[in-house]
Structure 1
């Protein structure tokens, strides 16, 4: 291993986020006092004209009372289902990686999922695995200082990367590239397997389900993600020894549902343990079920051709990604497999709220797909 990796200790992380430090530590630089938000249309134009998405933040969508009610209803309906999926992932991690494992959630969608996995392992196995939330950015890579911090503080441990769900699999590709880069630069071999709660894109080998269902944490932004913003990487804000940055929205503490989400699902862990163990055992015994076929990409290519979309980054497949399009981008249209799909209630509500047309698109691998309005050629997130 390259001595450069341990030549200098990385700074201790800031105390940010509304989660307990027993659940997660954010390896992120606190940028709370800096104005980084840009209006949705302004930000969309900047992104499509070449400004990298990580250099600014969207203005966070403030949900209506009806939307918050829908979040609670969805959480009530799906808590057991999410608990089983989290339990399956936890069981797979223990079986594949063992007990000397560091959980590294990819901020921010991965953070609540990582907490669920940590809590399941703690409750079922009486193991308190270290858990961090770190930044990974398409086009810029993973936070190397965060990797150094985890390796320095947990020598001999394997890092398990965790995210919420897959869409096209873009972040999985970034992770594969980042791990290859870390090995070449430092001689550190990292496992690029990305554990996710839901893998509708068929681009992960460690997942709880491949059903494209609504994970309630996808419904909201910071108020279900520890009050943390998306991660930021800008040369004038992040120095060579800093972690990637993020904002902690303390002003929304009264609206925070982050721990409500975690607690309600965690309450089911004991009850779903048999189902989680059974499902995980099937996946471990039948490796063909976990192969990453990337079949979701076939949908994307078909949509690109049918709608004449030049930039693949404007097509965002899956419930989680479509939600993001509606919450912080400029949507052109939403494609759905069928209008009576119960996973789409919040999608249809958001689309109506933003006057975005919804079209039925038959034979979709995913439940839905969001298409961002093409403005100008350029880089998109």
Structure 2
């Protein structure tokens, strides 16, 4: 057997290593952070978003309240979706599955799936979190580490939800490159809790509802930042970088999120079975992307990346970006109460737009004329 060449992982973040192993370089003390406005201007001027580290503030009481309210409202639905996904992974990959979450939104979802497999089958499957960046690909060094420690055909990628499907397309290209380069046999299948974009085959639901982890940043993701790929701080032999926000430990709700949903597993086991029986095999139609292109035409938006579909992405636009307007499929949808509140707080107009598969969509304000 060839010698293992990749750097062993260094403990990072607030999750237990029993739940997840981060294959990331800790850049907490070396890379400066950029404000939301500065990042927005830089991104819209051509700087790649992965080259900057966002400032993460202590979450406001309003956002924490929204997180707790949505967690209480959806914990059963989330537990069912996690169980449905876990069962499909066991069916596809067998009991030797290796979960590879796409940092960072995929990480808590991967932990829930790992916990469900342990609850249902008594099997403690390996779980890693690796970086994938739109336009830059997956962290090849992290994947080489996984190849050196596990059979490639057992790998199952995990993310939180789908929007336009940009990360799914990025994953398809990355997996094709890895298989050709290393002679591996990885599947590019991506498992998600919610697939409102109709982009994947393994999903818990295609309903578009708020996954509470979308409300907060690092404080529900193991205190880990978005991943960074900037050659000033990341060498060719390093894993992609991230910051560990130790200063937010008192505000950390990462484990609370996991435990609240995992506590539902014993209550929803039969419901998971019913959902699995009711599911019919269907290939991705990418209906969401079709809808997004229509929105792009209807509103004259040059850059498709300024359109953020689905409840999770719309919530993030209102919390973290410079929003222009919010589109909702129906003004009467009770699941969108938090969207209405956040839009009102930020004086962002809401417009009914029934012709889309998503329940809502956030449009980011172009900062330069012609975008």
The alignment's TM-score, normalised by the length of structure 1, stands at 0.93
- SS of the equivalent of 1:135 reads strand
1:58-112 deviation per Cα after TM superposition (whole angstroms, max 9, x unaligned):
2225433233122112111110100000000000000111011110000000000
Give 1:353 shift: 2.5
Change (3 A) 1:151 1:369: same
Please identify, of 82-91 and 327-336, the stretch whose mean Cα deviation from structure 2 is larger. 327-336
Mapped contact 2:308–2:314 kept (Cα < 8 A): yes
Return the match for 1:318 from 293, 310, 314: 310
Mapped contact 2:53–2:226 kept (Cα < 8 A): yes
Within the alignment, does 1:165 sit opposite 2:161 as a pair? yes
Mapped contact 2:292–2:309 kept (Cα < 8 A): yes
Give 1:195 shift: 0.1
Return the match for 2:145 from 149, 170, 175: 149
For residues 378 and 26 of structure 1, the distance between their equivalents in structure 2, rounded to whole angstroms, comes to 40
Q: Which runs of 5+ in 1 are unaligned?
A: none
Match of 2:122 in 1: 126
1:140-179 deviation per Cα after TM superposition (whole angstroms, max 9, x unaligned):
0000111111111123651100000000000000000000
Within the alignment, does 1:201 sit opposite 2:197 as a pair? yes
For residues 282 and 352 of structure 1, the distance between their equivalents in structure 2, rounded to whole angstroms, comes to 39
1:325-353 deviation per Cα after TM superposition (whole angstroms, max 9, x unaligned):
22222111111112332222222222223
Match of 2:95 in 1: 99
For residues 132 and 63 of structure 2, the distance between their equivalents in structure 1, rounded to whole angstroms, comes to 29
Match of 1:366 in 2: 358
Mapped contact 1:102–1:159 kept (Cα < 8 A): yes
Within the alignment, does 1:31 sit opposite 2:23 as a pair? no
After superposition, residues 209-228 of structure 1 pair within 5 angstroms as: 209-228=205-224
Within the alignment, does 1:262 sit opposite 2:258 as a pair? yes
After superposition, residues 299-378 of structure 1 pair within 5 angstroms as: 299-376=291-368
For residues 319 and 336 of structure 2, the distance between their equivalents in structure 1, rounded to whole angstroms, comes to 14
1:210-247 deviation per Cα after TM superposition (whole angstroms, max 9, x unaligned):
00011111111111111110000011111111110000
- SS of the equivalent of 2:236 reads coil
Q: Which runs of 5+ in 2 are unaligned?
A: none
After superposition, residues 38-117 of structure 1 pair within 5 angstroms as: 38-60=34-56, 62-117=58-113
Give 1:376 shift: 3.8
Match of 1:229 in 2: 225
Change (3 A) 1:377 1:9: farther
Within the alignment, does 1:250 sit opposite 2:242 as a pair? no
Match of 1:189 in 2: 185
Give 1:270 shift: 1.3
Give 1:196 shift: 0.1
For residues 32 and 153 of structure 2, the distance between their equivalents in structure 1, rounded to whole angstroms, comes to 36
Structure with the bigger RCO (C-alpha within 8 Å, sep 6+) is 1
Give 1:36 shift: 3.2
Pairwise CA RMSD: 1.8
- SS of the equivalent of 1:275 reads helix
1:238-258 deviation per Cα after TM superposition (whole angstroms, max 9, x unaligned):
111111000000000000111
For residues 333 and 66 of structure 2, the distance between their equivalents in structure 1, rounded to whole angstroms, comes to 15
For residues 31 and 352 of structure 1, the distance between their equivalents in structure 2, rounded to whole angstroms, comes to 36
1:3-61 deviation per Cα after TM superposition (whole angstroms, max 9, x unaligned):
9xx66521111211111111001110001113432111211110011100000022225
Mapped contact 1:102–1:158 kept (Cα < 8 A): yes
